[in-house]
Structure 1
Amino acid sequence: MAFSSGDSGGSMADINVTPLIDVLLVLLIIFIVTAPAMTMRVPIDLPQKSVNPPPPSNDPPPPIRLRVDANGQVFVNNNPVATRQVEANLLNLLPPAMQDGQAVEPADQPTLELDIDRDASYETLTTVLAAAKNIGMEKVAFLDNM
């Protein structure tokens, strides 16, 4: 509140900065709370453009179709699977060399085709992707289900 000193009886034309400071303090608290969440990173190995793509193998393995519905139920080749057993089920569908833990060229690996419902939980998707990464799958395709 501004007070006048003197005999003129008018008020001073100063800006009241208290609401401005209140807004700035609220913004500061919001930034302090959200800043740590913005610094967490998830490592993702994105495919790089190659000038000479590998030649296609003579007999590529059939793709593995994995579907996650809105309820979080996982289906591997249209067979329902518990979420915690996705890795074991995927491992059984891989070529024998990959089952033994050997490194296999990406051209000789089956493609993991993911059909994810728009309302599926993110946790289920990350579990499926972690399982695929743990068993060494490099060919992952997301299907567009519009």
Structure 2
Amino acid sequence: MAFASAAGTHCTAELNVTPLVDVLLVLLVIFMVSAPVLTRPVDIQLPQPSPRSVDPERPRSAQLTISADGSYRLDDRPLADSELWAKLAEAVAADARMTLSVRANSDASYQRMVEAVATAHEIGIANVAMQP
């Protein structure tokens, strides 16, 4: 059994460019239609930043350290409890935005730290930061 093709039949491979041209024409039309939309200016009103009053002064800050024996140090000066709270009350009266950084020794009593933060809140210090 022999497979033979007809002598007159000849197959050639040719690239069909008609679908490619159709796609390119569609893309050309899309870009021609969308180009004027992209280049047209758009009138919008952007919100303007409001001038806010900038206070050049930084708020007063103090650092309270609680040592292992439970004593307080305000800005590295040892103080008794009554002196400490009196000084902090004076500082708050001078600057209501005052910040207090509380740092406790790793061996310090947790109760002393809680008392310090609670008393600072009672005398009017709103910004208390705990430091490790």
Deviations 1:86-128 (A, max 9, x none): 32121122343x6xxxxx4xxxx12101111111112211221
Whole-angstrom CA distance in 2 between matches of 1:73 and 1:124: 9
Aligned partner of 1:134 among 117, 122, 130: 122
Aligned partner of 2:106 among 84, 98, 118: 118
Gapped regions of structure 2 (runs ≥ 5) = 1-51
Q: How does 1:51-66 map to 2 (within 5 A)?
A: 57-66=55-64
Deviations 1:42-97 (A, max 9, x none): xxxxxxxxxxxx9863211231111001111100111111134432121122343x
Give the TM-score normalised by the residue count of structure 1. 0.48
SS at structure 2 position matched to 1:94: helix
Partner of 2:66: 68
- Displacement of 1:130: 1.8
Structure 1 runs of 4+ with >4 Å offset: none
Whole-angstrom CA distance in 1 between matches of 2:115 and 2:83: 10
Query: How many positions carry a matched residue from both structures?
Result: 81
CA, structure 1 residues 57+141, in 2 after alignment: closer, same or farther (shift >3 Å)? farther
Whole-angstrom CA distance in 2 between matches of 1:63 and 1:124: 21
Cα root mean square deviation, aligned: 2.3
Bigger CA radius of gyration: 2
Contact 1:86 1:128 in 2 (8 A): no
Task: Report the more deviating stretch, 76-85 or 131-140.
Answer: 76-85
CA, structure 1 residues 111+119, in 2 after alignment: closer, same or farther (shift >3 Å)? same
Give the TM-score normalised by the residue count of structure 2. 0.52
SS at structure 2 position matched to 1:88: helix
Higher strand share: 2
Gapped regions of structure 1 (runs ≥ 5) = 1-53, 99-103
